[in-house]
Amino acid sequence: MKIIANNLKDTEKLGKIIAKCIEKGTVICLDGELGVGKTSLTQFIAKEFGVKEYIVSPTFTIIKEYEGRLPFYHMDVYRIGSEDDMYDLGYDEYIYSEGVTVIEWANLIEGILPEERIHIEIKRIDDTKREISIEGKGLSFEKLVSELNL
């Protein structure tokens, strides 16, 4: 499924819809080139999900924990050396927890992503326009698809 976001406001709207569809254990994978809007989308999801803290890119820490309607884990795996390093950081405990996990640069750890996930790829069209592709498997994904078709 493909969506066009003409501007940041459209990305915000999408973030709000995603926030309504996610539940404990949901994993959201975000891909797309540097500066395309992965963190921005994460911020919009988190805000609507009840995270009061402002999310900043966790590039150097890899994983940051926030509290929203449920625990909210934000990962940026851009600087991860290998998939094994993710396990050392407790990756499994996060993705199979009672919380929600958002992973930026998920394609870098493709081999260890859970089967049930929402996969979002953002492509830059111009300064403010983005093509956003959404795929996935699982209940949260199904819910998102039906919300977006309204």
Ligand X SMILES: Nc1ncnc2c1ncn2[C@@H]1O[C@H](COP(=O)(O)OP(=O)(O)OP(=O)(O)O)[C@@H](O)[C@H]1O
Taking CB atoms, the residue at the shortest distance from ligand X is 37
**Structural contact between residues 32 and 122, judged by C-beta atoms closer than 8 angstroms:** yes
Residue 26 contacts which entry, Mg ion, ligand X, none (Cβ below 5-8 A, type-dependent) = none
Q: How far is CA 10 from CA 53, 54, 80, 94, 105, in A?
A: 22, 19, 31, 29, 22
CB of 139 to ligand X, least distance (A): 26
- How many residues interact with Mg ion (rule CB under 5 A)? 4
- What is the rounded CA–CA span in Å between residue 23 and residue 69? 9
98's tokens: 């009672």
Residue 99 contacts which entry, Mg ion, ligand X, none (Cβ below 5-8 A, type-dependent) = none
Residues near 115 by Cβ (< 8 Å), separated by ≥ 6? 137, 138
Q: Which is nearer to ligand X, 21 or 122 (CB)?
A: 122
> Which residue stretch of 35-43, 86-94, 113-121, 136-144 sits at the interface with ligand X (rule: CB under 6 A)?
35-43
120's tokens: 């979002």
Residue 128 contacts which entry, ligand X, Mg ion, none (Cβ below 5-8 A, type-dependent) = ligand X
- What is the rounded CA–CA span in Å between residue 66 and residue 53? 7
Question: Binding ligand X by CB under 6 A: which of 3, 13, 16, 57?
Answer: 57
> Which residue stretch of 37-45, 84-92, 110-118, 137-145 sits at the interface with ligand X (rule: CB under 6 A)?
37-45
Is 54 a residue that touches ligand X (CB under 6 A)? no
Is 31 a residue that touches ligand X (CB under 6 A)? no
Is 57 a residue that touches Mg ion (CB under 5 A)? yes
Give the relative orientation of helices 139-148 and 8-21 as an angle to the nearest 10 degrees.
Answer: 130
96's tokens: 């199979």
CB of 75 to Mg ion, least distance (A): 11
